[in-house]
Amino acid sequence: MPYLNRNQIKRLIDEKRIFSNQSINTLQLQPASLDLTISNTCYRIKASFIPNNRPISKIISELMLAKIDLSKEFLLERNCIYLCEINEKLKLPKEIKGKANPKSTTGRLDIFTRIITEHGSEYDFIDYNYKGKLYLEIIPQSFSIKIKKNISLNQIRFYKGPKGESTQREQKISVNIKKGTVSAYKAKKITSSIDMSKINYYEKDMYWEKIIPKEDYFIIEKDEFYILRSKERIIIPNDSAAELEPFNDSFGNFRVHYAGFFDPGFGNDKGIPAVLELRAYDTPFIIRDGQLVGQLNYYKIEEIKNNFYGRGIKSNYHNQSLKLAKQFK
């Protein structure tokens, strides 16, 4: 069983394998993942990087444009690169590794994020026996955002052994586009920022354009960001978790779904669509109803009764449809 469940992650915290300068809030514990929180130390930097056996402190000294104190609210500007220290630190045992991904809200606001480890050679992966700090690269792409320390933009899950060995099954995921109905939202070019702490606050029409296609397709424009939903209704069993991964580039020249992790119990018994985030890379791209965009891979975890997605963890996306980030009414 590759993925650790909430109780097993809690055990890592109790054993000081996961620790912080402040107490780890129980609300950070999800059914099969842990929410990571940002410290008050952040930097605006010139460029993205991978450490590749170089100390991150040395790289920061070379790339830093400004040091930011997040003990007070601060505006992260669109298309600028920031590097923030994470409160939580790791001292993993030799049989456990980790993988991080953006939270749902982060993806739906088109905030590009990825975890960087000391001396690491790839983003978002934390190797066996890792000991040290975590850093989060943040690039707001559609909207400037206001954040403060202790906000959570990413989550981490832990698993034992090679992930692929315990894949239970796979499910192809396609987009749902119907002519004459709201099939997607497109982010507007707007100078107004979004305060991440304000829930159900902003008027969505100010920030988003409704896409109502005249046919069962529309064009994804270059450098634009879209929210869509899947045709498939997703049900994650209580003894499983799942990860949505995009197909290879031959299936389309766009990036799909920033926040690709689904907790146990997602969809309950009837199933609900997956919300998809799409952005074209280099050229406009036609996307049609039923077009395959990703694959959902299911993995086994040890079931915890009454600890499912959206229950008792104050999820804003339980029973979702074509739903924008929680900051919008």
Inter-residue contact 100 to 36 (CB < 8 Å): yes
Beta-ladder partners of 102 = 154
Going by their DSSP bridges, the two strands 225-234 and 292-300 should be labelled as unpaired
The predicted model gives 134-151 an average pLDDT of: 97
The strand pairing partners of 33, in sequence order, are: 30
Q: Which of 84-93, 272-281, 302-311 has the lowest mean pLDDT?
A: 302-311
What's the mean pLDDT when you consider all of the chain?
Answer: 89
Q: Is 28 helix (H, G, I), strand (E, B) or coil?
A: helix
Distance CA 109, CA 277 (A): 9
Number of helices (H), then strands (E), belonging to the chain: the values are 4, 27
State residue 310's pLDDT score: 54
> Does pLDDT of 309 surpass 80?
no
pLDDT at 89: 98
More confident residue, 90 or 313: 90
167-300 to CATH, choices 2.70.40.10, 3.30.420.40, 3.40.50.1980, 2.40.170.20: 2.70.40.10
Q: For the structural domain made of 6-166, what CATH number should be given?
A: 2.70.40.10
Report in angstroms the alpha-carbon separations of 278 from 56, 177, 250, 255, 263.
Answer: 31, 14, 16, 6, 21
Closest C-alpha among 138, 70, 72 to residue 106: 138
Please give the Cα distance from 110 to 57 (Å, whole number). 28
State percent of the chain over pLDDT 90.
Answer: 73
Chain segment 162-196, per-residue pLDDT in tens? 654 566 789 999 999 999 999 999 999 999 999 99
pLDDT above 90 for 124:
yes
Taking residue 261's Cβ as centre, other Cβ atoms within 10 Å add up to 23
Place of tokens 């620790």: 19
Domain chopping of the chain, boundaries? 6-166, 167-300
Whose CA is closest to 322, among 202, 183, 224, 216? Answer: 183
* CATH topology identical between 6-166 and 167-300: yes
Q: Which tokens sit at 279?
A: 């952005």
**The tokens of 326 are what?**
């929680």
Query: CA nearest 106: which of 65, 71, 76?
Result: 76
What's the CA gap between 219 and 254, in Å, rounded?
Answer: 12
Which range, of 14-18, 151-155, 177-181, 253-257, averages the lowest pLDDT?
Answer: 253-257
Please report, rounded to a whole number, the percentage of residues in the chain having pLDDT higher than 70. Answer: 88
CA atoms within 13 A on the CB side of 326: 14
C-alpha–C-alpha distance, residues 326 and 52, integer Å: 36
Q: What confidence score (pLDDT) does residue 249 get?
A: 53
pLDDT of residue 38: 98
- Model-level pTM? 0.91
The pLDDT of residue 79 is above 60: yes
Of 39-43, 51-55, 150-154, 298-302, the one with minimum mean pLDDT is 298-302
Q: 319 pLDDT exceeds 70?
A: no
309: tokens are: 């997605």
Record the tokens describing residue 182, joined without a space.
Answer: 């709201």
**What number is the average pLDDT over the span 151-158?**
96
pLDDT given for residue 248 in this prediction = 57
Read off the pLDDT of residues 219-249 as tens digits, 9 standing for 90 and up.
Answer: 999 989 999 999 999 999 988 899 888 765 5
Burial class (CB in 10 A: 0-12, 13-18, 19+), 42: buried
pLDDT grade, residue 313 (50/70/90)?
very low
Average pLDDT over residues 111-130: 95
